[in-house]
Amino acid sequence: MNFLFVFAYEETNISQMKVHTPPLGIGYMAAFLKQAGHSVRAVDLQVQHKQDVFDNMDGVEMVGISILTNYFEHAVDLVSELRERGFNGKIVLGGPHVTALAEESLRDSGADYACVSEGEEVMLDFAAGKPGEEIPGICWIENGEFRQNPMRAFNKPLDEYPFPAIEVFQLERYGSYNMTLVSPSTRDGIIMTSRGCPFRCDFCYRDDINKRMRMRSAENIVAEIKQLKERYGYRKYSFIDDCFNANIKQAKRICQAIIDAKLDIIFTLPNGMRADLVDDELAGLMKKAGCIGANIGVESWDEGVAEKMDKRLKKDEVINAVQLFRKHGIICTAYFIMGHYWDTKESVKRNIEAVKELGADFFQFTNFVPVPGSPAYNMLRREGLLDIKSFREYSLFGSKLLFKHPILSETDIHSSIRIANQKAAFRLRTLVVMLKRPIILWNVFRQFGQIMALTKITEFGRPPDLKMSTNKTEA
C-alpha cells in the first residue's frame, strides 16, 4: 500500500532556526511499514510547507496525521483541504492529542479513524487490508455513534522494533534541541531509549499503555547510534525519553555501553530527569559517555505543591542532583512550572527564590498548560474549570490561562515568569557558564532577540517583588 504521513504544525511558523527534530512516531511507523514492503512518504509541517502534502498525494491510499494538542486545529484544516481536493482514501489520525480526545478529534475533523496509543501495529493491520472497524486500538464514528475497539497489548519487545525510518524526512532541514550548547549547524540524532514512565506527575500526558515503562537493551541503543553515525554522520544526540533515568540502573547501563563502544558522541537529555534518581556514579558515567547537558524537572520549589502535583521531590534531592551535575561538568537546566492549579502566591514566590537557592546553570520557567491526557486536565475538566476556546491557545511560552485558577490571574502568572526569568538570566553563574564555554556565549548573542522574546526580559517596568492580584471572582 501507499501511505503518506503528515506531522501537523502551523504553516506560518516554519522555523528558520532549525530547532526542529524529526518526529520519531512517524519514523517508527514508517519503518514497520517499509519492512513489510509498503511505500511510505512523509511531510513534516515543522519544516515543510502544506503544499508539499498536496504535491505528494500521487498514488496515496491512506493519509496518517500525527497530532500534538496545539496543532490539532491545523490538522482539522488539513483534513478538510484533502477532501476538498478530492482525496477519497482513508484518513487516520494519531498521536497523544488523539489518544487523549479520540471522540472529539474524530467529530471535529471528519477523519475516518483515530488511533489510540501506539500506531506501528495498527498501521500494519491497515496495510494488510483489514478494515479499521476490525483493528484493535482504532476508533471511528458510525451513524453518529462513537465506536472504539479494545486496546492492543503491545507485548513485542522494543529490541525487535526496526530503527525509525528517518530517511522519509528531509533531514537537512532539521537542527538541534539544544541551541545554546552546540554550534548552529548541529543536527541531532534523536533516540528514544525507552517508552513510558512509571511516575504519575499530574501535568504530564499519560495513556494506559505508557504508564508501564518498556526499555530497550543498551546494546540495541548502541547499535542504533552506530547506524545513525555511519549513515548520517551525527555526532550529537538527544535522548528524548519521558524520563531517561526513571530506571537508574538502566541509565547507567546505557552510559556504560556507550563508553565501552567508544562511540565518541556527545548527547543531551532535553526532557526532565528525576533529581531523586541521580547519584555520583550516574553523573560520572553520563559525563564519560559524552553528556554535555541534562535537564531536571523540578516543577515546584514548594514541596507541598510538588506533592499535590504527584511530583514528590524534596528540595535536598534537587540540590544534590544539581551539585553532582556541576561537579562532573554537565550543564544543568532546571525546569519549573508557574501557575499550576495548586500554586499559591507563596509557592510562586518560592519558585522565584529557587534561582538563588538551587544554583543550576540555567532555568526555564514556563506556565502551566493543562495537557489533554494528563491527570490535571482530567481533573479540571471534571470540575468544569477549563477555559479553552481553541487548542491554538496551547503554548508553554506566554500561553493564555486555560483554566480558572482559584488564586492567581493570568497577569500574576506571566509577571512571575518574567521576574523569574530575569533573575535567572542576570546571575553571576550564567556569566561564568558562558565565559567558560564560548559557544554558549556566541549562541546567546546570536539568538538574543528570540531569547528576549521568550523570556520577555525586555518588559521591565514591574517592581522586582511580586504584587499579586487576587482573582476571587473566578474562584
Number of C-beta neighbours around residue 66 at 10 A: 26
95 is a contact residue toward ligand B12 (CB under 6 A) = yes
Number of C-beta neighbours around residue 226 at 10 A: 13
Cα separation, 106 vs 139, whole angstroms: 8
Residues 192-251, interacting with ligand B12 (CB under 6 A): 192, 204-205, 240, 242
Q: Which is nearest to 361 in space by CA: 401, 323, 337, 332?
A: 332
Euclidean distance between the first and the last CA atom of the chain, given in angstroms as a whole number: 54
Cα separation, 295 vs 306, whole angstroms: 17
Report the nearest approach of ligand B12 to the CB of residue 467 (Å): 28
Interacting residue with ligand B12 among 48, 66, 180, 347 (CB under 6 A): 66
Instruction: List all residues 6 or more positions away from 276 whose beta carbon is below 8 Å from its beta carbon.
Output: 313, 314, 317, 321
92 is a contact residue toward ligand B12 (CB under 6 A) = yes
Residues 382-411, interacting with ligand B12 (CB under 6 A): 394-396
373 is a contact residue toward ligand B12 (CB under 6 A) = yes
With both helix axes pointing from N to C terminus, report the angle between 438-446 and 448-455 in degrees, rounded to the nearest 10.
80
Identify the residue whose cell numbers are 514548594. Answer: 302
Give Cα 350 to chain centroid, integer Å: 26
175 is a contact residue toward ligand B12 (CB under 6 A) = no
Question: Toward ligand B12, which CB reaches closer, 97 or 311?
Answer: 97
271 is a contact residue toward ligand B12 (CB under 6 A) = yes
Binding mask 247-266 for ligand B12 (x = CB under 6 A): --------------------
Polymer length in residues for the chain? 475
268 is a contact residue toward ligand B12 (CB under 6 A) = no
With both helix axes pointing from N to C terminus, report the angle between 410-425 and 448-455 in degrees, rounded to the nearest 10.
140
Which cell numbers in the block locate residue 140? 471511528
SS3 186: coil
Question: Toward ligand B12, which CB reaches closer, 10 or 281?
Answer: 10
Compute how many residues bind ligand B12; rule: CB under 6 A.
38
Question: Toward ligand B12, which CB reaches closer, 12 or 143?
Answer: 12
318 is a contact residue toward ligand B12 (CB under 6 A) = no
Question: Toward ligand B12, which CB reaches closer, 41 or 97?
Answer: 97
DSSP 262: T
Cα separation, 240 vs 244, whole angstroms: 8
Stretch that binds ligand B12, among 95-103, 222-230, 279-287, 381-389 (CB under 6 A): 95-103
Binding mask 10-49 for ligand B12 (x = CB under 6 A): -----------x-xxx--xx--------------------
Report the nearest approach of ligand B12 to the CB of residue 216 (Å): 12
The contact set with ligand B12 (CB under 6 A) reads: 21, 23-25, 28-29, 64-66, 68-70, 92-97, 100, 115, 118-120, 122-123, 192, 204-205, 240, 242, 271, 369, 371-373, 394-396
